[in-house]
Structure 1
Amino acid sequence: MKLAERREPYWTVISAGCAVGYRKGAKGGTWVARLRDGGRQHYDALGAADDHRDPDGLTVFSFAQAQERARDFFTRKARELAGHAEPSEGPYTVAAAISDYLAARERRGSKGVRADRYAANARILPELGAVEVTKLTAKRIRDWHHTVAEAPKLLRTGKGAAKQATVPVDERDSEAVRARRSTANRLLTVLKAALNHAFHEGRAATDEPWRKVKPYREADAAVVRYLSPAECLRLVSACEPSFRHLVRGALVTGCRYGELIRLQAADFNPDAGTVTIRQSKAGKPRHVALNAEGQQLFAGLVAGKAARDLIFIRADARAWGVSHQQRPLVEASRRAKLDPAATFHILRHTYASLLAMRGVPMGVIAAQLGHTDTRMTERHYAHLAPSYVSDTVRAALPAYGLLEEPTIVPLHG
């Protein structure tokens, strides 16, 4: 349908409060941007429409080109209305947005900044770092998200390594595919958080492009790997003496590695039978109850120590560092014949899983682990807990007689 000439543009809404208009004139059309700020409206002339000439991006613009120019206007105007001076460093890129976001988290004392910065440097910035935030599209983010999900897994390499070691994803292994998609989802969360921070700071006029991109469904489904008590004993026995204390500490508290290595002698309360975690991921301190074995372990470790002395130290009397745990744990797992190798995350899962299987309420487990509520705890451990449904089914379902009588009789010494 041919549009009638009129002064009021024909508007296309780009996002909430932002629109691009086409004004039809006697000699052709022009593009106009409109930004609504409460009851006020702000306009900007974008240039001539491509009614009679091919778009060149300089004097004549297609609708797509007009949208790009409009986004620049929306960003500039939003910053002006928010009271921000126009940045002097040039275009505001995804790399700058991530840097500003992580810096803001550091100022707030948020946990996990180091890990998120490492992940962003490895997986987000190489592909998207140089892209201007105002020119970022949903398709660009979606394509990057899929690329990360299909990319080989990065392996930890030593300093000075000539090349980053990787492991290809086996497409036939559903768990490997799920794990890579879960990684892609976590990175998408970091990217969206950084872009949302830029949006709220007036660096972007709309959050629509990244709001449209959805994470993979069911990629973060609970996959709990935990050790049996027998495997725990094998692992502890296979550890070097000083590292053995750390592994024991993880198994009797369910604490994260970073929480354990910061514990001081004063954090153990022998009268209450607890250890206090003063710095946790959730940002709140918590008191972890110890069983008799845990109390005996911590009592022995703090004996003769001053209040501010670290409970867990290395064989050379130095503090355990951020990444000192993985190699000795992999080596101990090899000697204990555990495959896959244990991690401190698995030790934490083991603690919570054994509690769940003994019928400990989810709220109690959540409090011990430092979860802010029971949602994450239930997602990972509720299926392990005794339940009315499982008990009823096991009691009521008759034996069919499907199995053959065993022909091998076990010998009992």
Structure 2
Amino acid sequence: MARTRKDARINTRSARTSLQQRKEPYWRSISKGLAVGYYKGATSGAWIAKHFTVATGRRKASLGVADDFEDADGIRVLSFDQAQAKARDWASLKAQEDTGEVQSGGFTVAQAVDEYLAHLTKVKRKPQDRTRAIAKAHILPTLGDVELGKLRHGKIKAWRDSLAEAAPRVRTKAGKPQAYRTMDESQQRARQATANRILTVLKAALNYAKSESRRIASDAAWVDVKPFSKVDVPKVRFLTADEVTALMRACEPDFGHLVKGALVTGCRYGELTAMTVKDFAAKEGTVYIADSKNGESRYVQLNDEGIALFAELTHGRSGKDRIFVKANDTTWKKSEQKRPMDAACEAAKIAGVTFHILRHTYASHSVMNGMPIEVLAAQLGHKDTRITMRHYAHLSNDFKKQMIRANAPSFGFGNKPGPQLVTKAG
């Protein structure tokens, strides 16, 4: 059917009101072989797409409701521009299915997550236990059975919001009903930050399904689901010198070694407990981290205090021995640091401190003593300086302020003169 003048005027709500109701849609070509159609119904309008190629012939698809009487939401109700975009995505998907590039057939979010985790395991050469646990707890129960082709922006957004609105669980004894904490503003911000991290895992898996394994042609369902803003600004807690002294006095000897190791290296609990004697190089003053959180190895430089501690703990021991062991010479297991840390903090009357705070303590005092952010990032194993800056830049700025006030030259006209100018140029 040849396109009439009225057929082309479907791009605005006002233009569509003058159209007559009819069985045949009003078509508008948007690219070669592809057209968007507007069907004028008795009570509302609808968008459809039509695609023609010599190889496949003519195909049609329903796109959604036209925004004649409701504002467009980009999901169910579409504007003309949104209908065009959806038509192009549909045509692209069909073309890629025809060539075998996109694998259709009910591929689910759970399968996409499995593929992505297998990819990460291969690239990083280690099991992705933490990422897998996040997916199992927070992604798969709600979205796991959904086919990629049936994912919708609204469903993913509602899932993200539900993560942020869920109150933190309180640890309860077996057989007791699950209890939840009442959230204040800071806890709500923390829950939104957690939702952002989980959303990152989902989007990474879906992006891999689109770009690498070619399971879906369009990322329209998730690309515009944004993380919550201004929620992940950390308030870094670190120990003062007096708190460190009090904590060390309260620790059992074997746990005290582990605490000292964290304070002189800034290493994570898992990194410390995996260290073996051969990882310490006394001559170079370093300790080697074979497997860090981001999957990369690194060397941590030690100061004199750190070298002395590691030399004491490794003296006369086999290279395969773990450096940090419990009093009965067994290795520290996952999460075994919590009970002794809580006990030591209670005895020392220190509140709001976990083992991870020891890492913040090392980093915070390093920056306040003048360590450049770039050097600290390498010590901590951050992939780039953005994470380090986000946590510790304000402490670096305080240090710079103090150094400027103490060392910037004085010209003699202020009430509180600083260092005097030299009398002769060097």
Q: What residue in structure 1 maps to residue 214 of structure 2?
A: 202
Deviates more, 1:329-338 or 1:291-300: 329-338
Maintained 8 Å contact 1:33/1:70? no
Label 1:96 to 1:169 Cα distance change in 2 as closer, same or farther (>3 A): farther
Q: What residue in structure 1 maps to residue 183 of structure 2?
A: 170
SS of match in other structure, 2:325: coil
Label 1:164 to 1:24 Cα distance change in 2 as closer, same or farther (>3 A): same
Q: What residue in structure 1 maps to residue 341 of structure 2?
A: 329
Q: 1:364 aligns with which of 364, 375, 380?
A: 375
Higher-Rg member (1/2)? 2
User: 1:42: how far off?
Assistant: 8.8
**Alignment partner of 1:153 is 2:135:** no
User: 1:62: how far off?
Assistant: 9.9
Q: What residue in structure 2 maps to residue 289 of structure 1?
A: 301
For 1:49 and 1:242, the matched residues in 2 are separated by 65
SS of match in other structure, 1:22: strand
Deviates more, 1:275-284 or 1:138-147: 275-284
Q: Deviations over 1:27-54 (max 9, x none)?
A: x999435599xxx999633379999xxx
Q: What residue in structure 2 maps to residue 257 of structure 1?
A: 269
Q: 2:132 aligns with which of 117, 124, 128?
A: 117
Q: Deviations over 1:172-203 (max 9, x none)?
A: xx321211111011011011111111112221
Q: What residue in structure 2 maps to residue 274 of structure 1?
A: 286
Q: 1:220 aligns with which of 218, 224, 232?
A: 232
Q: Which amino acid aligns with 1:135?
A: K
Maintained 8 Å contact 1:3/1:24? no
User: 1:273: how far off?
Assistant: 1.4
Q: Which amino acid aligns with 1:32?
A: A
Q: Which amino acid aligns with 1:286?
A: R
Q: Which amino acid aligns with 1:78?
A: Q
Map 1:2-401; keep pairs closer than 5 Å: 9-10=27-28, 21-22=36-37, 31-32=48-49, 34=51, 44-46=59-61, 75=93, 77-83=95-101, 87=105, 91-109=106-124, 113-155=128-170, 161-162=174-175, 165-171=178-184, 174-200=185-211, 201-343=213-355, 345-385=356-396, 386-389=398-401
User: 1:95: how far off?
Assistant: 2.0
Q: Which amino acid aligns with 2:272?
A: L
User: 1:126: how far off?
Assistant: 2.2
Q: Which amino acid aligns with 2:284?
A: A
Q: What is the TM-score with the length of structure 2 in the denominator?
A: 0.75
Label 1:86 to 1:209 Cα distance change in 2 as closer, same or farther (>3 A): closer
User: 1:285: how far off?
Assistant: 2.5
Q: What residue in structure 1 maps to residue 72 of structure 2?
A: none
Label 1:104 to 1:18 Cα distance change in 2 as closer, same or farther (>3 A): farther
For 1:70 and 1:262, the matched residues in 2 are separated by 52
SS of match in other structure, 2:254: helix
For 1:110 and 1:62, the matched residues in 2 are separated by 45
SS of match in other structure, 1:209: coil
For 2:217 and 2:265, the matched residues in 1 are separated by 47
Label 1:199 to 1:34 Cα distance change in 2 as closer, same or farther (>3 A): farther
Root-mean-square deviation over aligned CA pairs: 4.0
Q: How many residues align?
A: 373
Q: Which amino acid aligns with 2:387?
A: M
For 1:267 and 1:378, the matched residues in 2 are separated by 29
For 1:297 and 1:50, the matched residues in 2 are separated by 70
Label 1:240 to 1:354 Cα distance change in 2 as closer, same or farther (>3 A): same
Label 1:228 to 1:62 Cα distance change in 2 as closer, same or farther (>3 A): closer
Maintained 8 Å contact 2:274/2:322? yes
Q: What is the TM-score with the length of structure 1 in the denominator?
A: 0.77
Maintained 8 Å contact 2:102/2:217? no
Q: Deviations over 1:366-390 (max 9, x none)?
A: 1111122222111111111245556
Label 1:70 to 1:105 Cα distance change in 2 as closer, same or farther (>3 A): same
Q: Which amino acid aligns with 1:198?
A: A
User: 1:109: how far off?
Assistant: 2.4
SS of match in other structure, 1:360: coil
Label 1:111 to 1:218 Cα distance change in 2 as closer, same or farther (>3 A): farther
Q: Which amino acid aligns with 1:142?
A: K
Label 1:80 to 1:294 Cα distance change in 2 as closer, same or farther (>3 A): farther
For 1:18 and 1:106, the matched residues in 2 are separated by 43
SS of match in other structure, 1:122: helix
User: 1:23: how far off?
Assistant: 7.3
Maintained 8 Å contact 1:93/1:129? yes
User: 1:20: how far off?
Assistant: 7.0
Maintained 8 Å contact 1:44/1:73? no
Q: Deviations over 1:293-315 (max 9, x none)?
A: 21111111111211121111223
For 1:233 and 1:299, the matched residues in 2 are separated by 22
Percent identical among aligned pairs is 39
Long gaps (5+) in structure 1: 52-60, 400-413
